[in-house]
Amino acid sequence: MDHTSAALRGIDPNQAHPARRYNYWLGGKDNFAADRASGDELERLFPKVRLGALANRALLQRATRFLAAEAGIRQFLDIGTGLPTADNTHEVAQRHAPESRIVYVDNDPLVMVHARALLNSSDAGRTAYIEADLNDPAAILANPVLHETLDLKQPVGLMLIAVLHFIHGHGAAKPIVRRLLDALPAGSYLVATHATSDFGTPEQQALYQQLIEQGKSDVWTRTREEFTDLFDGLDLVDPGVVPASEWRPDPGADIPLRSDINVWTAVGRKP
């Protein structure tokens, strides 16, 4: 998409957006110069940030496979979808259970444009899309598309992959997660990943806090303690709260240093 067509769709190509920056780090082409500049600046300061993005993406695929192939989940609510790449949530789920139904949610118009064009469901399942913001969970839950696609009386896999760290403020993410989980029945799962500064040196932590205060980063990192608290009341799936690369890695996979990933991960089941 060029700048002109982006503007016609209400997209500001001169303002970096997390989904497009993430797409850039993953090697995608659906991004603008502002997104690349933002990504390059963060990578200059934190050289392993791209490795963390790749580990996060691989985690999404493994966790979705677990839910579909082992936990019997057939419905997925993926909030903070990001731009389509290979092996999206519905592709992994429907590979193991073709009847799976997926609702994608994102607040970036460009994401929705590409999603509707590229994310096609299997014949047995269904894929739908909502343009909405995680900051307003009530609007997501009230959207008729959600209820046309998913049966909220049956278990749902709630996917919050690399999105909660865009909710700024200590304690600000938990009420949003709780509102979403309260709408889902027992047997549902929460899959979440979250950026952290826990593994950084004191100097790196101070630098990152400075970037937040200066508005040069939109990622609000959280500690292991605060991230774990998001799963309060859920039964954590082994191995519990670990870096993204350490959650049920594929056999023979190389496990990077935790300081190279800086992303907490967990999967929990609602009893």
Record the pTM: 0.85
Distances 99 to 77, 118, 125, 130 between C-alpha atoms, Å: 15, 19, 4, 20
pLDDT digits (tens, 9 = 90+) for 35-69: 888 778 877 877 777 777 888 889 999 999 999 99
CA distance between the termini of the chain: 44
Which structure tokens are listed for 190? 């929460």
Looking at residue 86, what is its pLDDT? 65
Does the N-terminal peptide bond of residue 84 adopt cis geometry, omega within 30 degrees of 0? no
Query: What rounded mean pLDDT belongs to the chain?
Result: 88
More confident of the two residues 53 and 172: 172
pLDDT digits (tens, 9 = 90+) for 106-126: 987 777 776 766 567 778 899
DSSP state of 104: E
Domain ranges of the chain: 3-269
DSSP assignments along 2-61, one per residue:
-HHHHHHTT--TTS--HHHHHHHHTT-S---HHHHHHHHHHHHHSTTHHHHHHHHHHHHH
What CATH code is assigned to 3-269? 3.40.50.150
Work out the angle at residue 18's Cα, subtended by the Cα atoms of residues 14 and 24, and round it to the nearest 5 degrees. 80
**Displacement of CA 241 from its chain's centroid (Å):** 16
> Given pLDDT bands bounded at 50, 70 and 90, which one contains residue 217?
confident
